[in-house]
Amino acid sequence: MNGKRILLVIGGGIAAYKSCELIRLIRKAGGGVTCVLTDGGAQFVTPMTLAALSEAEVYSSLWDLKNETEMGHIQLSREADLIVVCPATADLMAKMAAGIADDLATTLLLATDTQVMAVPAMNVRMWDHAATQRNVGQLRDDGVIVLDPDEGPMACGEFGEGRLPEPDAIFAEIEHWLASSTKDRAHPLAGKRVVITAGPTREPIDPVRYIANRSSGRQGYAIAGALARLGANVSLISGPVALETPRGVNRIDVETALEMEAAVDAALPADVAILVAAVADWRAEASPRKIKKGETGGPPDLNLIENPDILAGLSRSDKRPELLIGFAAETDKVVGHAKAKLDRKGCDWIIANDVSGDVMGGADNSVHIITEAGVESWEQMPKSDVARKLAERIADVLA
Ligand code: C5P
């Protein structure tokens, strides 16, 4: 840590006392610490304690920085190699996620482009609350490193997830981040090309009617965004969805399976292809004009034709990417069916999910990663977390 500087933002929670031990560990390893204490934090640790441990001035008010031009909030954060928010309370993370800047801590967190690491600590119910989980997801999407809290007995007498990790574990995370190279840290997928399909396809019956499915495209879009954040060059071939294009992603809109197949082909070569789209298995022999009720003497015969399997076709093509990932949406025997699909489709990984609940269109997903090596089951989490974890896994594999 020689010479590295940490700006430590201390939020208002009982775990604030552990930040004192963290300061000691950083100082012992040769690093410097500047503390910013929130009003809440000051209820649990005193500026005097922090000043003694850090051997530096402690800042707490936006209004009494001595000289705004020399030592303003911008300057404070600029001097740091890493900003650590510890403990990060539910309230502080909510403000960070919303971009609120109403005290020194939140103002400098909004005004900085230095990497921020948040170490949450709160009551288990606050941690599990949908609002906190949404804010944590937003912060991670914004590039903040949010450490997972520990599970165990809490100061409030309850038991569960939400405890601040031990100071030596937090210190290890800080050291690890400072040790990795700038390029590896921010953009491990720089220079890699990824093709992703997402959403449903829409197969016309006539000019006004079509066959489609309930896919919302959310999981595929989240994956596209997560990969772009890691520096990948992402082409997202999208069926009709009501979603915004993730930042930095090149989106190509299509309607039918045949259009999707052609767009995938045109986007190749790629290092990775992830086929998330719920492609219609069949298309109708579309009528060029609207079919009138009664004109066919009963329901019209749709004359369904099988669509090409884009994933299976890609795995056999000479343009096959190094890493080919398929999805399997199943309502029963999820893992069993997905394993069979891995072989049948010739891909490297199958991400299997149970769509018997409200996964299609919902915000959460619970997936199994099936590879040659076996099955890994992830707990249920927001689709944005599945996307981030998957993007990190892909970056690890390609490294
Ligand atoms: O066979 P099934 O539709 O369950 O396979 C799902 C996987 O195959 C997904 O990755 C999906 O995107 C892909 N797929 C495809 N072309 C099709 C059907 C499925 O690429 N026609």
Token pair in block for residue 153: 């007995």
**Euclidean distance between CA atoms 260 and 4, whole angstroms:** 50
The CA distance from 16 to 234, in Å, is: 41
Handedness of CA 267, 264, 185, 176 (dihedral sign): negative
Tell me how far the alpha carbon of residue 279 lies from the centroid of ligand 1, in angstroms: 6
Cα 230 to averaged position of ligand 1 atoms, centre (Å)? 26
Q: Answer whether 217's CB lies under 8 Å from 199's CB.
A: yes
Cα of 103 from ligand 1 centre, angstroms: 51
Q: 237, 305, 345, 350: which to mutate for ligand 1, most atoms within 8 A of CB?
A: 345
pLDDT for 337 = 87
Separation of CA 55 and ligand 1 centre (Å)? 60
Residues 170-191, mean pLDDT to the nearest whole number: 83
Give the pLDDT confidence score for residue 34 in this predicted structure: 96
Residues 6+ apart with CB under 8 A from 72: 65
* Residues 73 and 111 sit within 8 Å (Cβ to Cβ): yes
Place of tokens 């299609």: 360
Res 46: pLDDT: 96
Q: How confident is the model at residue 161 (pLDDT cuts 50, 70, 90)?
A: confident
Q: Output the pLDDT for position 65.
A: 60
Distance between CA atoms of 378 and 148, rounded to whole angstroms?
A: 15
Name residue 275's beta-bridge partners.
Answer: 197, 326
pLDDT of residue 350: 96
Which range (111-125, 150-164, 311-325) has the least confidence? 150-164
Q: What is the DSSP string of 170-218?
A: HHHHHHHHHHS-HHHHH-TTTT-EEEEEESB--EESSSS-EE-----SH
Q: Under 8 Å CB-to-CB from 303, ≥6 apart: which residues?
A: 284, 285
Tokens of 122: 């709160």
**pLDDT value of position 154:** 80
216-267 pLDDT per residue, tens: 999 999 999 999 989 999 999 999 999 999 888 999 999 999 999 999 999 9
Q: What atom of ligand 1 comes closest to residue 327's alpha carbon?
A: 10
What's residue 247's pLDDT? 83
What pLDDT score was predicted for residue 153? 84
Candidates 309, 316, 344: which one to mutate for ligand 1, based on the most atoms within 8 Å of Cβ?
309
- How confident is residue 359, by pLDDT bands cut at 50, 70 and 90? low
Atom of ligand 1 nearest to the CA of 325: 10
Q: What is the predicted pLDDT for the residue at 182?
A: 66
pLDDT average, residue stretch 373-381: 91
Does the pLDDT of residue 169 top 90, yes or no?
yes
Ligand 1 binding residues, C-beta < 6 A: 197, 257, 275-277, 279, 307, 309-311, 326-328, 341
For residues 179-205, give the mean pLDDT: 88
- Nearest protein CA to atom 4 of ligand 1, as residue: 328
Predicted confidence at residue 211, as pLDDT, reads 96
User: If you take atom 6 of ligand 1, which residue's CA is the nearest one?
Assistant: 328
Percent of the chain scored above 90 by pLDDT? 73
pLDDT for the residue 80: 93
Q: 169, 119 in Cβ contact below 8 A?
A: no
* 118 CA distance to ligand 1 middle (Å): 38
Q: Give the number of the atom of ligand 1 that is nearest the alpha carbon of residue 276.
A: 12
Counting atoms of ligand 1 from 1, which one is nearest the CA of 308? Answer: 21
Confidence of residue 382 (pLDDT cuts 50, 70, 90): confident
- The residue whose CB lies within 8 Å of the most ligand 1 atoms, and thus the one to mutate among 201, 256, 310, 342, is 310
Tens digits of residue pLDDT in 11-61: 999 999 999 999 999 999 999 999 999 999 999 999 999 999 999 999 987
Euclidean distance between CA atoms 233 and 225, whole angstroms: 10
Q: Which of 311, 330, 359 to mutate to test the pocket of ligand 1 (most atoms within 8 A of CB)?
A: 311
CA of 375 to the centre of ligand 1 (A): 19
Which residue is closest in CA terms to ligand 1's atom 13?
A: 311
Distance of CA 395 from the midpoint of ligand 1 (Å): 24
- CA-nearest of 86, 65, 85, 87 to 76 is 65
pLDDT confidence of residue 132: 96
What are the structural domains of the chain?
A: 5-186 (3.40.50.1950), 193-398 (3.40.50.10300)
Kindly report the number of other CB atoms within 10 A of residue 190's CB atom. Answer: 12
The per-residue pLDDT for 69 is 54
Q: Whose CA is nearest to atom 17 of ligand 1?
A: 309
Catalytically annotated residues = 156
- Average pLDDT, whole number, for the chain? 91
Q: Which atom of ligand 1 is closest in space to residue 257's alpha carbon?
A: 21
Ligand 1 centroid to 385 CA: how many Å?
Answer: 23
Residue 310 has pLDDT above 90, yes or no: yes
Residue 197 CA: which ligand 1 atom is closest? 12
Q: Name the residue at shortest CA distance from atom 21 of ligand 1.
A: 309
